[in-house]
């Protein structure tokens, strides 16, 4: 087998290399390409929502403006700051993983997790407020404060977009917890930290989507 001859040539065989890759570098490049492709599908999926949102905004600008007045800009802004900070700590986590600094990696991953949790807590309060006011999608819209009827559609988009993004945050938190555990077990080193790197890429995308969602939903004019 080639892997056997490969071993003979280089002496040591890294345990993380899967048998169908010729070497660790090929494995790393392939994983990274796979992740980028996946991120492309994510962007296209959210892209459909952005197109629908933009189109309907151009048809019902009044409803959109009325709808966005119900959103709490302060909470949205705090959440934006949270996610930006979490992206920074994520970058630091990847950096410390690549330089064999286990303690710092764990600390940065936990900080990222904290910011993500904070984001969801604030989102929870925002959602609770909307539920209370009856600012719900479609036929469940029961707000009595008046305004254009198409606000129901605006809130359909609002919940669809922030909901789908929220699910992504949740999945991100699960992934970050998973790589934190693996870091604690000492599975990563400067030679192999692909999972940390890939989760980092995913997390930046989650952040990036929010960067577009925030002005689109909260700051329309």
Binding site for other proteins (CB under 8 A): 1-5, 7, 13, 15-22, 26, 29-31, 33-34, 37-38, 40-42, 44-49, 52, 55-56, 59-60, 136-140, 149-150, 152-153, 156-157, 160, 164
Return left, alpha or beta for 141; rule: phi > 0 is left, psi -120 to 50 is alpha, else beta.
Answer: beta
Kindly give, in sequence order, each residue whose CB lies less than 8 Å from that of residue 197, ignoring residues fewer than 6 positions away.
Answer: 32, 94, 97, 98
176, 170 Cβ separation under 8 angstroms: no
Closest to other proteins by CB, 34 or 145: 34
Give the Cα separation of 130 and 211 in Å (integer): 21
Closest to other proteins by CB, 48 or 103: 48
Question: At closest approach, how far in Å is the CB of 156 from other proteins?
Answer: 3
Closest to other proteins by CB, 59 or 128: 59
Closest to other proteins by CB, 90 or 153: 153
Question: At closest approach, how far in Å is the CB of 4 from other proteins?
Answer: 7
Query: Which residue shows structure tokens 């999926």?
Result: 45
50, 212 Cβ separation under 8 angstroms: yes
Question: At closest approach, how far in Å is the CB of 161 from other proteins?
Answer: 10
Token code pair at residue 31: 């994983």
Question: At closest approach, how far in Å is the CB of 69 from other proteins?
Answer: 19
Question: At closest approach, how far in Å is the CB of 11 from other proteins?
Answer: 9
Closest to other proteins by CB, 7 or 77: 7
50, 57 Cβ separation under 8 angstroms: no
């Amino acid at each position: 087998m080639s892997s056997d001859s490969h071993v003979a040539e280089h002496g040591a065989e890294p345990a993380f290399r899967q048998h169908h890759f010729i070497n660790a570098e090929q494995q790393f490049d392939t994983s990274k390409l796979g992740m980028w492709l996946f991120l492309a599908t994510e962007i296209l999926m959210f892209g459909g929502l952005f197109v629908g949102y933009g189109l309907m905004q151009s048809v019902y600008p009044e409803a959109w403006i009325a709808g966005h007045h119900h959103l709490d800009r302060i909470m949205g802004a705090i959440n934006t700051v949270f996610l930006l900070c979490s992206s920074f700590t994520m970058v630091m986590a990847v950096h410390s993983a690549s330089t064999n600094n286990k303690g710092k990696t764990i600390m940065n991953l936990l900080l990222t997790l904290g910011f993500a949790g904070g984001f969801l807590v604030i989102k929870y309060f925002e959602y609770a407020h909307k539920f209370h006011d009856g600012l719900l999608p479609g036929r469940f819209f029961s707000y009595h404060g008046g305004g254009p009827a198409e606000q129901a559609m605006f809130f359909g988009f609002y919940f669809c977009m922030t909901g789908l993004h929220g699910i992504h945050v949740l999945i991100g938190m699960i992934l970050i917890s998973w790589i934190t555990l693996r870091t604690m077990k000492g599975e990563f080193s400067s030679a192999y930290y692909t999972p940390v790197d890939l989760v980092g890429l995913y997390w930046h995308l989650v952040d990036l989507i929010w960067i577009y969602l925030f002005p689109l939903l909260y700051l329309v004019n």
